[in-house]
Structure 1
Amino acid sequence: MGKGRKALIVGIDYYEDLGQLSGCVDDAHKVKAALDRNGDTSKNFQTKILTGTGPNDIVTRKALKEEDTATGDDGLPMGEILKLANDSKVANKIILLDSCHSGIAGSSENDPRFAELTYGLTIFTASTEKQYAHETDEGGVFTNLLVDALEGAAANLVGEITPGSVYAHIDQSLGSWGRQRPIFRTNVNSFVSLRQVTPPIALEDLRAIATLFPSAHHHFELDPTFEPYRPISGVEVDPVAENTSRFAILQKLNRVNLVVPVGAPHMFHAAIEGKSCRLTILGEHYRRLVVNDQI
């Protein structure tokens, strides 16, 4: 998957004429580690990192610009970054900015209420145009949540992590009343996967959902023959191998909130008491994906 996927990662702690920062270089290495490889160690992005740690290790504006264009100069304003991205012929481009007031990125120069993004461009920023991007002893708040999302917190049930799911994770983590609000701007018709991790349920078990539930509102009837573990006295029916095998899959679907027992607190009780189980709304969604051959 790594072929053709490139990520330029920049972290600068040292500035010659400005106050110094701390943690930006460490954050850059965290992002690089998260993007380099998928959860199964297969290659993901071809990453290049630029860091400024001190007077003998600086990142000049000219050098930074030359990583994206053939000719560099002495300045790289935010608007120029956007122009480079908008003019790029690359199909999918994602800009991640963990810096103060970064929410201005993508805004129209004539009217900040509107964004200027060409097709295929997505922008994440750590805060609005009027907010600071906060840090802790562990680094940037935004970057830590980004890395957390890339390492699996934002994965769906097939193990894919998309820009939309990353933003949802960061947005939820910061809360509506946080000191900083992330900004998400995009002009795409579908999200690409940023990283692949081990899914919380095996694909073969996930695909079984369409067989176990022939319709979205089907109730799967259970009885004691489905439960192999029986500590309750009075259960005289022996388990049936075929049923316990299907029940094991149903329990896995239950753990990822695709299936819930009906009239019982747990799947175990539903089987022992002869109840049933049904799909959740999320379960109906994934069943539909399976039926439509999208998984």
Structure 2
Amino acid sequence: MVGIDDYSGAKLQGCVNDAKAVAEILEYNENGSKNFDVDLLTDISSKAMLVEAVRKLFSGNADVALFYFSGHGYVDEIGGYLVTTDFSRGDMGVAMSTVLKLANDSKCKNRIIILDSCYSGEMGKTGFEGECSVISDGVTVLTASLPVESAIEINGHGVFTSLLIAALNGGASNIMGKITPGSIYSYIDQALGAWQQRPVFKTNISQFVSIRDMNAKVPLNVVRSIVELFPETTSEYKLNPSYEFTNSNQIEHTLIEPLANEENVKVFKMLQKLEGIGVIEPVDEEHMYFAAMNFKSCRLTAVGQYYWKLAKDKRI
């Protein structure tokens, strides 16, 4: 995690804050279990120091090696650079192509590069028309802006990193609590308006790896139960008032037969949790309550059908 503010004549204010915040959130999963071993570097004073730090990061054989940089970026007719504090005309810092080469050549299974700097979309850009991708198998690049765009700071944080932190805090997690580079990009891309800086996502992988785990939005045993409640992806689960716990003699209101049944209420609470994460939906009613009280049913959504297949194949 690299954050650089102290550029002579071009000081920044949010990059050290960015690196510290991302380091803090990536070090642990939501449940407190260890996630990444983090090396937080806010005192990089030379091009040589940054190159050595990147070389060290990608020198092992870890499952996931992640490089994050927040600082100035620069681009010229030759390529893009991560600017270091010893920059000078003609030698602005570490070439993005150098960082990418170290990642490409690494034996780590997954290599992830996240850049919050101006012109960072230059990373991985090919220099010649028709040239093949320069991103090796297992490498993912996520950048704050297009090759021709600045990256904006607001209130002591980069706009991109503020959204990255929100994504890592659960905004980009799936129903099993997994956060991947792809889901982070999708979250940031949708959060930014059409006229704001545009994030760039480049990858050459066959399967996304989770880079932070949140607690599952509902217990996984509840998600797995959908294969029992819905024998087929197109099945509907019939409801009636016995599923609604308020339809009881113990609560003063107009009763509807059949009255609340303990087992049905238990199932209905699971169904309501699944509705809350978009896995099921009521049929011909706006809410599950009315589906039960009006003898309607519920069914799997498109997302629910996807997780039904995963549960059926015992992949969750």
**TM-score, scaled to structure 1:** 0.90
How far is the alpha carbon of 1:237 from its aligned partner? 2.7
1-structure distance, mates of 2:118, 2:142: 13
Map 1:270-285 onto structure 2 (within 5 A). 270-285=291-306
Which contiguous aligned blocks of 4+ residues in structure 1 show a shift greater than 3 angstroms?
111-115
SS at match of 1:48: coil
Aligned to 1:143: 161
Q: Match for residue 183 of structure 2?
A: 165
- 1:14 paired with 2:6, answer yes
Closer, same or farther: CA 268–259 of 1 in aligned 2, 3 Å: same
SS at match of 2:114: strand
Say whether the 8 Å CA contact 1:50–1:59 is kept in structure 2.
no
Q: Which residue of 1 is the match for residue 224 of structure 2?
A: 207
Q: Report matched runs for 1:81-160 at 5 Å.
A: 81-111=99-129, 115-160=133-178
Counterpart code for 1:213: F
User: What pairs up with 1:122-271 in 2 under 5 angstroms?
Assistant: 122-175=140-193, 177-230=194-247, 232-271=253-292
Partner residue of 1:59? 45
C-alpha change, 1:212 and 1:100, in structure 2 (3 Å) is same
**How far, CA to CA, are the matches of 1:153 and 1:272 in structure 2?**
34
SS at 1:238 equivalent: coil
The gaps in structure 2 that reach 5 residues or longer are 57-90
Distance in 2 of aligned mates of 1:126 and 1:234 = 57
Distance across 1 between alignment mates of 2:23 and 2:292: 47
Could you tell me how far apart the structure 2 residues matched to 1:292 and 1:147 are? 33
Deviation at 1:228, TM superposition (A): 1.1
The Cα offsets for residues 62-121 of structure 1, whole Å up to 9 and x where unpaired, read as 111111337xxx952111111111111211100000000111100123349864101110
Q: Secondary structure at the match of 1:49?
A: coil
Q: Summarize deviations over 1:251-282 as a string: whole Å, max 9, x none.
A: 11111111111122211111111111111111
SS in 2 for 1:50: coil
Residue of structure 2 equivalent to 1:3? none
Contact 1:262 1:276 in 2 (8 A): yes
- Counterpart CA distance in 2 for 1:121 and 1:98 is 17
2:11 and 2:170 mapped to 1: Cα distance?
Answer: 32
Letter in 1 for 2:22: V
The equivalent residue for 2:61 is: none
Normalising by structure 2, report the TM-score. 0.84
| Segment drifting more, 281-290 vs 260-269 | 260-269
Going from structure 1 to structure 2, the CA distance change for 1:232 and 1:178 (only over 3 Å counts) comes to farther
> Would the aligned equivalents of 1:170 and 1:182 in 2 still touch at CA under 8 Å?
yes
- The worse-fitting range, judged by mean Cα deviation, of 230-239 and 264-273 is 230-239
In 1, distance between residues paired with 2:45 and 2:2? 9
Which residues of structure 1 form unaligned runs of 5+?
1-8, 53-57
Aligned-partner Cα distance in 2 for 1:114–1:143: 30
- Once residues 78 and 222 of structure 1 are traced to their aligned partners in structure 2, the CA distance between those partners, rounded to angstroms, is 58
Give the Cα–Cα distance (whole angstroms) in 1 for the partners of residues 260 and 37 of structure 2: 52
What percentage of aligned pairs have identical amino acids? 42
> 2:151 and 2:218 mapped to 1: Cα distance?
36
Q: In the alignment, which residue of structure 2 is the partner of 1:28?
A: 19
Shift of 1:19: 1.0
Deviations 1:45-70, CA, capped at 9 Å, x for gaps: 01101114xxxxx5321111111337
**Matches of 1:280 and 1:247, distance apart in 2:** 17
Q: Give, in angstroms, the shift of residue 293 of structure 1.
A: 0.9
Other-structure match for 2:36: 45
Question: Contact (CA 8 Å) 2:26, 2:36: kept in 1 or not?
Answer: yes
Indicate if the aligned counterparts of 1:107 and 1:113 stay in contact, CA closer than 8 A.
Answer: no
Structure 2 contact 240–258 (Cα < 8 Å) conserved = no
Q: Aligned to 1:95, what secondary structure does the other structure show?
A: strand
CA root-mean-square deviation: 1.8
Partner Cα separation in structure 1 for residue 129 and residue 32 of structure 2: 45
